[in-house]
Structures are given as structure tokens and as C-alpha cells.
Structure 1
Amino acid sequence: MFGGIDPSLLIAALIIASVPIILAAIGELVVERAGVLNLGVEGMMIMGAVCGFIAAVETGSAVLGFVGGAAGGAVLALVFGVLTQFLLANQVATGLALTLFGLGLSSLLGQSYVGIKPPLTGSVPLGPLADIPFFGRVLFSHDWVVYLSVAAVAAVWWVLRSTRTGLILRAVGESHDAAHALGYKVVRIRMAAILFGGAMAGMGGAYVSLVRVPQWTDGITAGAGWIALAIVVFASWRPWRVLIGAYLFGGITVLQLNLQAAGARIPVEYLSSAPYLITILVLVIMSSGRGKAALNAPASLGQNFHASR
């Protein structure tokens, strides 16, 4: 115990707090590696949160709740994809509109579900591993989504690094005109990436409403989508760095709550505001082409593609 804080409980809580950000960020990383900048992650997350919550309550199954959350995020991503890839709308403006739309629609859909408890998402039974001192609580006492989030990072890393699919995706993100000249279907590839990103963000939102805060309230994601966007940039579009960045941000969130509970004299507002201040800074950097180049962003990031050009 350090100052009344149990380190094993702190690390376990850190891992849980990071799951929604990991899922949303790894999905957005794939989208951006394909050359698309979707600022609607927050909107997709909160739609996933409300759709997942409704699905879980109505079916009595937490697993179906996560499926519903992924579907909710993917549907909103589909709207973004149609507007930006087929109608060639501005990606930044469309993403921001998507967030506002998601926040409003989720509030409407969730009105009759306030105060209801969702079905429990139980821990994975790992037997004797969960009884190991310290490490059992930290590593082997979580629900299946925690392990899925780490597996998703590993899978994206492997696909981008070692498969033909990953090579084509990266080629589209670096130069969509060159990829088109080689015969690749740029719009189709980008739409697939956008739908994947939406499903992952929706699943992250569902984790918030079903596990982290097992209830529905308006604005339940509390800016997690913006933090996910910032983490993708911090990670220089590399999957394993996304995992590290999410744990750092999750650690700040959990630490400020524990410091407050332990009666620390440090104003907790400093720690609680840090992720959002850093997010604002990253988004400012992203708004300048020079900043994107310095961060080694995909060369075609945010640029619309039309085959007739």
C-alpha cells in the first residue's frame, strides 16, 4: 500500500480504464493508415455505448450488447464513409458533424434506459492463475474484452506489417493516386477501413456503458474519443505505441481518482484536465500540414480521392 492506494488494484483499474481508448484508437489507426481522417470517433463511441446498452438490456446478454455496440458505431461510420468517399465531403467537417449527431441521437435513444442496470460481463475463469499474488489480480482477473483489446492491437500490428492486405492499406494511405494506378480499389479499401474503425469505436463505447460505468447517462464517453484521436498521433501510427499511450492516459484517469480518494493535497483538477489539454494540443498540430509531416503521418491523410482526377 502506498498512501492508502493498493498498487495491484491501481494497475488493474488502469487496464480496465484503458480498454475503451485502446479499441477506439486502434480502429482509428487503421482508418488513418488508409488516408482517412475521421474526427467522429467520439460520436461513434457514444452511439456504440447506447446501442450496446440497449441491446444488452433487451436481450439479457452482455456479448450481444458488445455486438450491438459495434454495429451502432459501424452504422455511423458508414454515414461518414458515404459522405466523404462517394460525395467527397470535407473529412474534418463531416467528422465533427458526426460527433454532434451521435451525441444528440444517443441522448434521444437512451432516454428510457436511465437508471437500468445492464447484464454483468463476468471475468474470464483462468483458474489458479487468478490466485497468483499481485499478478493474479493485475493480469488474470479481467473480462474477455480486456484480452480482446490487446489481441486487436497485436492483430493490427501483424496485418499492417506482414500481410499483403496491410501493404495495400498503407499504400493507399501514402499515395491514393499511385495505388489507383496500380489497380487497387481505393474507395473500397477506405470504406472497409472506415467500417472497421467504426465497429471498434462502437465496441469501446459499449465497454464504457456495460463495464466501466454499468449504466446509461448522457455523454457517458466523456471525451474518450478525442483522447483516442490524440493517442493515434502520439503513437506515430504504430499499433504497440497505441497500447502504451492508452495505458498512460488510463493511468492518469485512475490515478487522479485514487489520489482524490486518498485525500492527496495535489489539486486533482490538474491531473483530470491533463488528457484533454494534451488532446487539444495534438489536434492543433494535426491541423497544420507541417505538423503532420513532422509526425510522419500518412501522406494522403485527410485528402479526398476521385478516380477521374
Structure 2
Amino acid sequence: MNLLYQMFPLALGIATPIIICALGGLFSERSGIVNIALEGIMLVGAFFGATASLFLEGSLGDLAPWAGALVGMIAGCLYSLIHAFASVSLKADQTISGAALNMLSTGLTVYLCQIIFGAQRSEQFLERFRRISIPVLKDIPVIGDLLFTNVFPTFYLAVGLAVLTWFVVFKSKFGLHLRSCGEYPQASASMGIHVEKMRYIGVLISGCLGGLAGAIMVLSLDVQFTVFSIHGIGFISMACLIFGKWNPYGCLGAGIFFGFSQVLSNYSGQIPFLNGLPSELFFALPYLLTIAALLLFSRKSVGPKASGEIYDSGKR
């Protein structure tokens, strides 16, 4: 049980950017745009978030990481605008546009690092997100040790965003319009809904959350920004979205599952029936589970019908 208490807070910390990024992908895909650029958006958000935190930590102190997260969110939103313009306005292939943004993000962040820091990585942070324990709640048997002791405050932000996303997508007029554009865009247009506008909004919200996820990841789980800071978490978030069946609460649960798969490699030597296996297997485990989740659930999980399709206003 003590091992579980050690693993759980770390798993929640790793799960946080996965959950937030998956929620971003949910907004985009519910509007009808596949956003495989989440990996690149996270990388851009991580760079600008880390850079802003470094420049502001002298004046803001403990608040610098939160300011960096805000800057990362804005940077992700602006970067996703490229994908929105290409996919919605130019009617380009969404997969190619997303892949191009992923490749561009690597060169862009390395280039900006070289200009600002004179190296291909940033300086080390003095201020990062710190783990907290919540008074009273941490004293609850079992649950207190798992959820309210030595946990990053950003995890509670991720939970709050999941609840907010559920309300916005499934209980609001805006969410109804967004989902209709991802299911039957021509029917939505006939009812007076501006499909292109809704898809732009979906992609931009996706960029905001992806950039926020990238900034949170580097400012909580790393000591400096490098081009390897994200290491495939954006793609795992897309698998989390499919695994969670395009539902915010499903993304929350799937994100925690993938967070545990990442942590398992660090504790495999302490688990009796796993300590004899090669460590390389556990480092590959998150990506193997991602593939397995896609194989098992991609056919059973039915996403928005018009997701990935170029909107043609003349189509009936």
C-alpha cells in the first residue's frame, strides 16, 4: 500500500498534461477538425511557458510558473491558428496540416532557444510548480493520501477543466452548436449556425488547452526546456481522447491510466512479479499501451461523424 501512495501522486502529475491536452483535442474534434498538431502545440506552449517563467521569476516569485502557464496557453492558441486557417479557410488536408505543425514546432523552438539562450535548451528554472497537501482533506483515510497529499495543484485544475468541458460541450447552447458542426455540418448551416466560425473556435480552444498542457508539463516535471520535453505526450493525449470516447470524464480516467503507465517504469524494480523483467520494457510501456488502446477501442469508439471531413457548404 505504501508503494501505491508513492506512485499515485507522481502518476497524477504526469496525467495532468495528458488530460488537459486531450480535452483540447475534444473541442477540436467535436467541431469536426482532427488536430494531430497537439504534440507541436504542446511543444510551443512548453517553450513560451518556460521562457516567460524564467524572465518573470525574479519579479513574481512563486507566481512565475502560473504566469508562464498563461503565456504558454496564449502561444498555443496563436500557433493553432495556423492549423485552423489551413484546415477551415484553405480546406487543406487536416492530417497533413497537423503533421506539418508538429515538424515546424521542433525547428521553431530550437531556433528560438538558440537566439534567446545561446543553446538548444533553456536555462534551469528557479521557480516551478510545487506539490501541495490540502489541510483536512489529506487526513481522510486512503483517499487523503492518494488525492490530497503531495499532489501538484495543476491536477485539480485539470479536474476542474474536465467538469467545465462537460458542462460547456453537453449542457450549453454553444456546445450543442459545436457538436452539431462535428456531426452534420450541412444541417447545422441550414439552421443558421456558422460552421467555419465554430470550427475556428474549436481549434483555438484546442490550442489554448494544448499550450497550457505543454507549459504545465515542463514547469512541473522538468528543470529546463528542451526539444525532448514533451516526448510524445501530445500523441498519447490523442489516444487518451479515443480511449475516453470523446467524453471529458472518459479523458480524465484515461489520462490517469496513461499516467500510471508512465510511472510504472520507475517502480517496476520494487514490484515482485515485475522486477525480473528488463527495464526497457517499462520505458516502452506507455507507447505500447497507446497502440493497444487504439487497436482495442478505435473501432468501438465512434467519434464525431464529420471529424476530419472538409466542410463543403454545397454538399447535401
Scaled by the length of structure 1, the TM-score of the pair is 0.90
Instruction: Give the Å deviation of 1:90.
Output: 0.5
Partner of 2:222: 213
Task: Name the aligned partner's letter for residue 188 of structure 1.
Answer: K
- Give 5+ residue unaligned stretches, structure 2: 58-63
Partner of 2:105: 102
Instruction: Give the Å deviation of 1:215.
Output: 1.5
Partner of 1:307: 313
Partner of 2:158: 149
Percent identity for Structure 1 against Structure 2: 28
Change (3 A) 1:80 1:206: same
Please give the alpha-carbon distance, in whole angstroms, between the structure 2 residues aligned to 1:279 and 1:80.
24
Change (3 A) 1:266 1:125: closer
SS of the residue corresponding to residue 105 of structure 2 reads helix
Given the alignment of the two structures, is residue 6 of structure 1 paired with residue 19 of structure 2, yes or no?
Answer: no
SS of the residue corresponding to residue 11 of structure 1 reads helix
Given the alignment of the two structures, is residue 84 of structure 1 paired with residue 87 of structure 2, yes or no?
Answer: yes
Please give the alpha-carbon distance, in whole angstroms, between the structure 1 residues aligned to 2:269 and 2:210.
29
Partner of 1:267: 278
Among 127, 135, 138, the residue aligned to 2:135? 127
Task: Name the aligned partner's letter for residue 49 of structure 1.
Answer: A
Instruction: Give the Å deviation of 1:308.
Output: 4.8
Instruction: Give the Å deviation of 1:285.
Output: 9.2
| CA shift digits 1:117-140 (9 cap, x unpaired) | 241323456333335565444222
Please give the alpha-carbon distance, in whole angstroms, between the structure 1 residues aligned to 2:41 and 2:270.
32
| CA shift digits 1:140-173 (9 cap, x unpaired) | 2433311010111111112222221111111111
Please give the alpha-carbon distance, in whole angstroms, between the structure 1 residues aligned to 2:262 and 2:206.
24
Partner of 1:169: 178
Instruction: Give the Å deviation of 1:7.
Output: 1.6
Among 192, 200, 216, the residue aligned to 2:209? 200
Scaled by the length of structure 2, the TM-score of the pair is 0.88
- Give 5+ residue unaligned stretches, structure 1: none
Partner of 1:54: 51
RMSD: 2.3
Among 180, 187, 190, the residue aligned to 2:196? 187
| CA shift digits 1:44-84 (9 cap, x unpaired) | 00111101000111111111100011112111111100111
Partner of 2:122: 114
Please give the alpha-carbon distance, in whole angstroms, between the structure 1 residues aligned to 2:94 and 2:232.
20
Please give the alpha-carbon distance, in whole angstroms, between the structure 2 residues aligned to 1:273 and 1:90.
31
Please give the alpha-carbon distance, in whole angstroms, between the structure 2 residues aligned to 1:178 and 1:133.
52
Please give the alpha-carbon distance, in whole angstroms, between the structure 2 residues aligned to 1:305 and 1:82.
13
Task: Name the aligned partner's letter for residue 148 of structure 2.
Answer: F
| CA shift digits 1:267-300 (9 cap, x unpaired) | 23223223323444666899xxxx66x5311110
Alignment check: 8 A CA contact 1:77 1:198 kept: yes
Partner of 1:247: 256
Partner of 1:158: 167
Partner of 1:15: 12
| CA shift digits 1:214-255 (9 cap, x unpaired) | 311222101000000111111111111111111111101101
Partner of 2:31: 34
SS of the residue corresponding to residue 127 of structure 1 reads coil
Task: Name the aligned partner's letter for residue 20 of structure 1.
Answer: P
Count of aligned pairs between the two proteins: 301
| CA shift digits 1:1-59 (9 cap, x unpaired) | 5xxx6221111111111001001001101111111101101000011110100011111
Task: Name the aligned partner's letter for residue 122 of structure 1.
Answer: R
| CA shift digits 1:165-216 (9 cap, x unpaired) | 1111111110111101111011111111101111111111111210011311
Alignment check: 8 A CA contact 1:103 1:219 kept: no
Alignment check: 8 A CA contact 2:51 2:122 kept: no
Q: Counterparts of 1:276-287 in structure 2 under 5 Å?
A: 276-280=287-291
Alignment check: 8 A CA contact 2:166 2:247 kept: yes
Given the alignment of the two structures, is residue 296 of structure 1 paired with residue 299 of structure 2, yes or no?
Answer: no
Please give the alpha-carbon distance, in whole angstroms, between the structure 1 residues aligned to 2:242 and 2:179.
16
The worse-fitting range, judged by mean Cα deviation, of 219-228 and 255-264 is 255-264
Task: Name the aligned partner's letter for residue 137 of structure 2.
Answer: L
